[in-house]
């Protein structure tokens, strides 16, 4: 957890040779990393020169030693220039948020048509109560971050099988419906996310089956019930709340 009263004030983090900031670091964390010689602080907060992936791993280890982040997740995430820019480094997933780098996230709305065309059934999933972030909160049917070396579609296929047991035949109906760039603050740091939003029409006899222990339960609810649940945003992971709110707005606008 990021400590003390200045935890929600952030400084932009730059890389050598790049004019635009790539991340954002809370003041306590920034001050500590500068004191440890892991970031430079002249006119701007700057990653020290050398291989950026190696420098970031040094920072991750220090943040873990200080108990500001969870243990290493052994999943390398791309560090990019902006939400859709090229990859210039890689970083273990555990440290992405605290340094405020952009993440690309896949969200899949699972939909089951009904006789009322404007009132489909919507699948939602509750995250495990042992999850390192947002434990016990509701999510879209499938959600996950794009790891280094994977495309968004590959991520969608992987996460769909792991979190809901959706196979390749059903995934042929996957339809990308938009993207949403969001920035927000949590106790984990400064979040910058590009949400890639997909709709997936599923058969009435589909039953979600989690294979990776990240999902505690999945429910199929009428759209009206979903809208009622969205009246209490704290029940949902924040990015999933935005995606599901967008889904409800799109369906009702098409009436």
Judged by average pLDDT, the poorest of 2-11, 64-73, 98-107, 214-223 is 2-11
User: How many domains would you assign to the chain?
Assistant: 2
Same domain? 168 vs 182: yes
Residues of the domain holding 219: 103-253
Residue 2 reports pLDDT greater than 50: no
Q: Are 94 and 54 in contact (CB under 8 A)?
A: no
Q: For 160-200, how does the pLDDT look when each residue is reduced to its tens digit (9 = 90+)?
A: 999 999 999 999 999 999 999 999 998 889 999 999 999 99
Same domain? 62 vs 158: no
Give the residue-averaged pLDDT of 216-242.
96
Q: What is the pLDDT of residue 183?
A: 95
Residue 51 and residue 88: Cα distance in Å, rounded? 10
Q: What is the mean pLDDT of the chain?
A: 93
Quickly state the pLDDT bin for 214 (edges 50, 70, 90).
confident
Same domain? 153 vs 243: yes
Quote the DSSP letter at residue 205. Answer: T
pTM over 0.75: yes
Q: What is the CATH number of the domain that holds 79?
A: 3.30.750.160
- C-alpha distances (whole Å) from 31 to each of 66, 70, 99, 125, 173 are 13, 20, 13, 39, 49
Domain-embedded: residue 5 = no
Same domain? 95 vs 127: no
Q: 45, 67, 100 — which closes off a domain?
A: 100
Residue 54 and residue 114: Cα distance in Å, rounded? 52
What are the residues whose beta carbons fall under 8 Å from the beta carbon of 110, sequence distance 6 or more? 122, 123, 140, 141, 142, 164, 200, 202, 206, 208, 220
């Amino acid at each position: 957890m990021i400590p003390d009263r200045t935890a929600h004030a952030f400084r932009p983090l730059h890389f050598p040779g790049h004019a635009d900031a790539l991340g954002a670091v809370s003041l306590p964390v920034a001050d500590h990393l500068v004191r440890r010689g892991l970031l430079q602080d002249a006119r701007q907060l700057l990653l020290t020169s050398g291989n950026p992936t190696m420098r970031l791993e040094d920072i991750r280890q220090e943040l873990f030693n200080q108990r500001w982040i969870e243990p290493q997740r052994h999943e390398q995430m791309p560090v990019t220039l902006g939400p859709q820019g090229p990859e210039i480094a890689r970083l273990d997933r555990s440290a992405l948020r605290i340094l405020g780098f952009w993440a690309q996230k896949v969200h899949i709305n699972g939909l089951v048509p009904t006789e009322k065309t404007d009132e489909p059934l919507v699948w939602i999933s509750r995250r495990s109560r042992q999850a390192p972030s947002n434990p016990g909160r509701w999510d879209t049917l499938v959600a996950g971050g794009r790891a280094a070396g994977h495309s968004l579609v590959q991520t969608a296929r992987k996460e769909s099988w792991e979190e809901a047991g959706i196979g390749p035949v059903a995934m042929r109906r996957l339809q990308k419906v938009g993207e949403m760039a969001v920035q927000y603050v949590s106790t984990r740091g400064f979040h910058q996310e590009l949400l890639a939003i997909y709709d997936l029409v599923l058969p009435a006899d589909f039953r979600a089956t989690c294979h990776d222990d990240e999902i505690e339960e999945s429910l199929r609810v009428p759209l009206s019930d979903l809208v009622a649940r969205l009246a209490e945003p704290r029940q949902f992971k924040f990015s999933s709340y935005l995606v599901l709110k967008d889904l409800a707005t799109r369906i009702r606008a098409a009436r």
